[in-house]
Amino acid sequence: MYVLGIESSCDETAVAVYHASRGLIAHTLYSQVATHAEYGGVVPELASRDHIRKLVPLIKTVLNDAKLQAGEIGGIAYTAGPGLMGSLLVGAATARSLAWSWKIPAVAVHHMEGHLLAPMLEDNPPPFPFIALLISGGHTMLIEVRAIGKYHLLGESLDDAAGEAFDKTAKMLGLDYPGGPKLAEFASGGSNRFKFPRPMTDRPGLDFSFSGLKTFTMNALHATDQSAKDKADIAFAFQQAMAETLSIKCKRALRQTGMETLVVAGGVSANREIRRQLQQMATKENAEIYFPRPEFCTDNGAMIAYAGCQRLLAGQSQNLEIFARPRWPMNHLAGL
Ligand code: KG4
Ligand code: ZN
């Protein structure tokens, strides 16, 4: 069965085709970064209007790349939440309408389940059960994953998400939106001069708090001449604090649950220093660690097509309702 996957929850329009036994067939993505850059963040109304312009042409491109006719698609998976309501509705309405006209099922996919399952697209997928660290622009979660749909939340961010903290810190350093990858680039030219805290690591528990790092960034910045070197050193300190905090919490989650497998996914998992420190920790703990390839860490259609395909194979789909949930707790998901 070929499954068409559609992602439009935020500022990326992405489409993919995944085949139940042959794997990923084709995928494409249009990023709206240039549209939102001048505003310093995503403007929801501009995002949804752009999804309307781009989605159908991208679906045609993917079908063309996959050398498939519409009649060969067996099901459609779309991101139904969490995300921006207008953007979600574009994907949901398009997916639902196509499924109706092609007389095939449509399945609503949870965006963070998509991220969580992205490493399954690789040649060496992680075995269940595992601990998942999901680090994206809107979420930071540690989850005990028993199987698809069997998610137990161990900890989450009490304030800013990891990606949000990267983006806000980058903004303070004068870097353009989205600042995460740019801050990482900046940090590679920095040195170990400032010491930032590792928030909430000195007390038990698996929750996170990153909003305090903004104060440290601001104070460090004001104590310097704000030269390019000063900013690189601050970026370095911020990234080290983030990487070490994530690493400490993952180690704690592995030990607490006795699990030996760690999956790390979501936009921030593309960060090379974070990957390096988590890898080092996992090796010391005798745990196996799995990441998606960098292009599937950030939003993409492949992860939605994959997650939707698993649910469709299990006989799950939605009725004619256009299903969109800006807020959608992961523990509300059904198992397979
Ligand atoms: O998963 P994602 O593409 O979208 C959401 O679901 O939110 O994550 C986007 C987030 C942004 O905050 C972005 O700055 C961050 O991931 N990000 C990074 C890197 N690449 C993307 N943060 C740090 N280092 C990176 N290399
Ligand atoms: Zn995402």
For the chain, the domains span 2-116+296-332, 127-291
Tokens of residue 132, six digits: 């998942």
- CA–centroid distance, 260 to ligand 1, in Å, is 26
- CA–centroid distance, 267 to ligand 2, in Å, is 6
- CA–centroid distance, 267 to ligand 1, in Å, is 3
Residue nearest to atom 13 of ligand 1 (CA): 180
Residue nearest to atom 14 of ligand 1 (CA): 180
The amino acid at residue 247 is S
What is the position in ligand 1's atom list of the atom closest to the CA of 83?
A: 6
- Sheet with 288-290: list strands edge to edge: 150-156, 140-147, 130-135, 261-265, 288-290
- CA–centroid distance, 191 to ligand 2, in Å, is 30
- CA–centroid distance, 241 to ligand 2, in Å, is 22
Q: Is 165 exposed, middle or buried (0-12, 13-18, 19+ CB in 10 A)?
A: buried
**Residues of 168-207 as b/e, b for ≥16 C-beta within 10 angstroms?**
bbbbbbebebbbbbbbbebbeebeeebebebbbeeeeebb
Question: Looking at residue 178, what is its pLDDT?
Answer: 86
Residue nearest to atom 1 of ligand 1 (CA): 267
Question: Looking at residue 77, what is its pLDDT?
Answer: 98
> Which CATH code, of 1.20.272.10, 3.30.420.40, 3.20.20.70, 3.40.630.30, is assigned to 127-291?
3.30.420.40
For residues 210 and 200, give the distance between their C-alpha atoms in angstroms, rounded to a whole number. Answer: 9
**Which residue among 136, 169, 242, 272 is best mutated to probe the pocket of ligand 1, counting the most ligand atoms within 8 A of its Cβ?**
136
137 close to 163: Cβ distance less than 8 angstroms: yes
pLDDT by residue, tens only, the chain of 336 residues: 999 999 999 999 999 999 999 999 999 999 999 999 999 999 999 999 999 999 999 999 999 999 999 999 999 999 999 999 999 999 999 999 999 999 999 999 999 999 999 999 999 999 999 999 999 999 999 999 999 999 999 999 999 999 999 999 999 999 998 899 999 999 999 999 999 999 999 999 999 999 999 999 999 999 999 999 999 999 999 999 999 999 999 999 999 999 999 999 999 999 999 999 999 999 999 999 999 999 999 999 999 999 999 999 999 999 999 999 999 999 999 999
What is the position in ligand 1's atom list of the atom closest to the CA of 270?
A: 26
Helices (H), 128-227: 162-172, 179-187, 212-222
The CA angle 5-8-13, to the nearest 5 degrees, is: 85
Taking only Cα atoms into account, the Rg of the chain, rounded to an integer number of angstroms, comes to 20
- CA–centroid distance, 221 to ligand 2, in Å, is 30
**Which residue among 8, 12, 268 is best mutated to probe the pocket of ligand 1, counting the most ligand atoms within 8 A of its Cβ?**
268
Question: Looking at residue 41, what is its pLDDT?
Answer: 93
For residues 80 and 61, give the distance between their C-alpha atoms in angstroms, rounded to a whole number. Answer: 22
Question: Looking at residue 336, what is its pLDDT?
Answer: 94
Short-list 29, 7, 27, CA closest to 17:
27
Ligand nearest to the CA of 136: 1
Tell me which residues have their CB closer than 6 angstroms to ligand 1. 10, 115, 136-138, 163, 166-167, 178-181, 184, 266-268, 270-271, 298-299
Q: How far is Cα of residue 128 from the mean position of the Cα atoms in its chain?
A: 20
- CA–centroid distance, 297 to ligand 1, in Å, is 8
DSSP output for 70-106:
GGGEEEEEEEEESS-HHHHHHHHHHHHHHHHHHT--E
Residue nearest to atom 7 of ligand 1 (CA): 137
What is the position in ligand 1's atom list of the atom closest to the CA of 138?
A: 7
**Residues of 43-72 as b/e, b for ≥16 C-beta within 10 angstroms?**
bbeebbbbbbebbeebbeebbeebebeeee
- CA–centroid distance, 138 to ligand 1, in Å, is 9
What is the position in ligand 1's atom list of the atom closest to the CA of 184?
A: 24
Asked if the domains at 2-116+296-332 and 127-291 fall in one CATH topology, the answer is: yes
For residues 17 and 15, give the distance between their C-alpha atoms in angstroms, rounded to a whole number. Answer: 7
2-116+296-332, superfamily in CATH? Answer: ATPase, nucleotide binding domain (3.30.420.40)
Short-list 241, 199, 194, CA closest to 219:
194
